[in-house]
């Protein structure tokens, strides 16, 4: 029978303590459903005694139907000098009515003295009281042993006595926390092994932070040493350098160690959950994330691509679709014919002549030398390929543009005149805009929508400018990448020039041409 390790997600509590992360109540409920569908056993929803938003979340989540997960509320042991009945924090935890409660307590004597300013014995009494009180009032209680590894290294006898205080009071699980993220895998191995030997009849969990870049490694090592619950956040969100990335932990346990952390069939949802929560958090995308990142199975070097085309195992440790990701082949000046052939197959072009392949590769390398970058602009690449191979002829021919910018404090206004040729017809139009690029866009769009009504729903999703060669100051080349959407699909195009308006124009024209090429009117 497969060994089982329970996944415990702390994205909605520990994860939100990360810089730049803030979820609304509605966001938190949506995240909870995503993680539930993934098959994670426990979802820590927040600290109900600390803020109104978490209290509202716990009220609303009661009405939601979860399939796989149990919602957990989080708080601390009672305050020194309080009884459990009068402790606001413990009462808030009970008010949340979750089937599982996790409480955090001090296990490092240094913290007991400096933070709580009480005696070591009083801290043990607080832990015992809190656990015993909650155990008679809810189904399952976990004890988060805060700073446990630092405490163990400083005074192992006392650190272990805090665990025993919780254990003797009926705790369901002891969660060993590397709160400062400074413990190494070899230390984790020694300490977790010792704890597992001493507390055989309860769950031993692991909660690691990534301050030494050991977050995932420490969590995996803890499992190897006997831990049966593993905590982390989706995408590794969290305070300072973040928490251990639960996506990587789950994938490693299931795929590398043959341990059932989530149902095997749910692994394919891993990348979608990662992307969904990242988008909801409104953070820059980390393409380099193992397993779930966009670059995790991206290949650029010609030798690599040639080998992957023969057998993906040559440069991939798992099949991308196992975790819901996909293989990507990038095209650049490092590309060989293998890259081009692979990309052409993706575009449905498989019978292109060898001389055309050589022309495409030569043109690609020439453009990359001029400052173009085709790695993430598949629309411009597809246009380039189909033009060279004779499968598409441009529908828009630029004849003339004229830009006029007037500064009127406190605002400015630009106007643009464009003259283009469509189907042997020369058309001229002028329009105004909030800047020269916007004015050009408006002037061109008015002409094209009249000729091609299917372009009406095109919207600009993103507009990025980067200096390609900065040594020439304002004469430097700039690279403009535009992302366009038609409400159904989106695509990216590129333009490069020393003139930002011209670079924008090139990217803009490609965005319209791409739509026309794939949905001709």
Q: How large is the average pLDDT for residues 473-498?
A: 84
Q: Say if residue 193 is in the same domain as residue 311.
A: no
User: Would 210 be classed as within a structural domain?
Assistant: yes
pLDDT at 263: 95
User: Would 267 be classed as within a structural domain?
Assistant: yes
CA 485 to centroid of chain Cα atoms: 22
Q: What are phi and psi of 376, to 5 degrees?
A: -120, 25
Q: Say if residue 178 is in the same domain as residue 302.
A: no
d(CA 343, CA 382): 9
pLDDT bin (cut points 50, 70, 90) of residue 472 is low
What is the count of structural domains for the chain?
Answer: 3
Interval 280-299: pLDDT, tens: 998 888 989 999 998 898 87
User: Would 287 be classed as within a structural domain?
Assistant: no
Q: How many CA atoms does the CB half-sphere of 222 hold within 13 Å?
A: 32
* Cβ neighbours, 10 Å, residue 144: 26
pLDDT at 268: 97
Interval 96-155: pLDDT, tens: 999 999 999 999 999 999 999 999 999 999 999 999 999 999 999 999 999 999 999 999
Q: Say if residue 140 is in the same domain as residue 220.
A: yes
Question: Which residues are CB-neighbours of 175 under 8 A, at least 6 positions away?
Answer: 8, 102, 142, 143, 144, 145, 204, 205, 206, 207, 229, 231
pTM of the model: 0.78
Peptide bond into 356 cis (omega under 30): no
Residue 21 belongs to domain with CATH number:
3.20.20.70
User: Would 441 be classed as within a structural domain?
Assistant: yes
Q: How large is the average pLDDT for residues 481-498?
A: 88
Domain with 184, as residue range(s), is 6-281
Question: Would you put residue 258 in left (φ > 0), alpha (ψ -120 to 50) or beta?
Answer: left
Give yes or no for residue 335 having a pLDDT over 70: no
User: Would 61 be classed as within a structural domain?
Assistant: yes
Q: Say if residue 178 is in the same domain as residue 247.
A: yes
Q: Say if residue 214 is in the same domain as residue 339.
A: no
**Strands of the 425-433 sheet, one edge to the other:** 397-408, 411-422, 425-433
The residues that bridge with 429 in the sheet, in sequence order, are 418
């Amino acid at each position: 029978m497969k060994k089982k390790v329970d996944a415990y997600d702390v994205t909605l509590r520990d994860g939100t303590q990360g810089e730049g992360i803030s979820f609304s109540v509605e966001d938190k409920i949506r995240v909870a459903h995503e993680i539930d569908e993934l098959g994670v056993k426990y979802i820590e929803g927040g600290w109900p005694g600390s803020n109104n938003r978490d209290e509202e979340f716990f009220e609303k989540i009661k009405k939601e139907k979860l399939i796989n997960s149990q919602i957990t509320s989080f708080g601390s042991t009672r305050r020194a000098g309080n009884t459990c009945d009068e402790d606001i924090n413990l009462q808030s935890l009970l008010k949340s009515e979750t089937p599982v409660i996790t409480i955090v307590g001090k296990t490092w004597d240094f913290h007991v003295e400096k933070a709580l300013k009480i005696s070591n014995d009083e801290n043990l009494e607080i832990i015992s009281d809190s656990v015993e009180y909650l155990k008679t009032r809810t189904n399952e209680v976990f004890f988060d042993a805060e700073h446990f590894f630092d405490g163990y290294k400083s005074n192992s006898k006392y650190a272990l006595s805090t665990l025993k205080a919780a254990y003797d009071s009926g705790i369901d699980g002891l969660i060993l926390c590397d709160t400062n993220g400074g413990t190494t895998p070899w230390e984790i191995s020694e300490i977790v092994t010792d704890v597992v030997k001493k507390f055989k009849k309860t769950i031993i969990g692991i909660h690691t932070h990534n301050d030494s870049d050991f977050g995932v490694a420490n969590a995996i090592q803890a499992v190897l040493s006997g831990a049966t619950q593993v905590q982390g956040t989706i995408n590794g969100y969290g305070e300072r350098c973040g928490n251990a990335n639960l996506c990587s932990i789950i994938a490693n346990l299931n795929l590398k160690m043959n341990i059932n952390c989530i149902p095997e069939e749910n692994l394919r949802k891993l990348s979608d959950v990662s992307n969904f929560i990242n988008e909801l958090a409104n953070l820059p995308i980390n393409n380099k994330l193992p397993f779930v990142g966009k670059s995790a199975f991206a290949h650029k070097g010609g030798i690599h691509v040639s080998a992957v085309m023969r057998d993906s195992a040559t440069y991939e440790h798992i099949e991308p679709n196992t975790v819901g990701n996909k293989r990507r082949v990038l095209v650049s000046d490092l590309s060989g014919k293998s890259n081009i052939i692979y990309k052409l197959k993706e575009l449905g072009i498989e019978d292109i002549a060898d001389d055309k392949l050589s022309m495409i590769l030569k043109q690609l390398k020439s453009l990359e030398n001029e400052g173009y970058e085709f790695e993430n602009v598949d629309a411009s690449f597809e246009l380039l390929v189909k033009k060279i191979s004779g499968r598409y002829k441009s529908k828009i021919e630029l004849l003339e543009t004229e830009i006029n910018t007037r500064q009127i404090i406190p605002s400015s206004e630009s106007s643009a005149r464009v003259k283009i040729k469509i189907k042997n017809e020369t058309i001229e139009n002028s329009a105004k805009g909030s800047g020269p690029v916007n004015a050009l866009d408006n002037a061109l769009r008015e002409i094209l929508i009249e000729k091609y009504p299917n372009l009406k729903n095109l919207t600009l999703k993103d507009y990025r400018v980067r200096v390609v060669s900065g040594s020439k100051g304002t004469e430097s080349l700039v690279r403009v990448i535009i992302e366009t959407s038609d409400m159904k699909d989106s695509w990216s195009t590129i333009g490069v020039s020393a003139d930002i308006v011209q670079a924008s124009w090139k990217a803009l024209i490609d965005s319209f041409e791409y739509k026309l090429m794939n949905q001709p009117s």
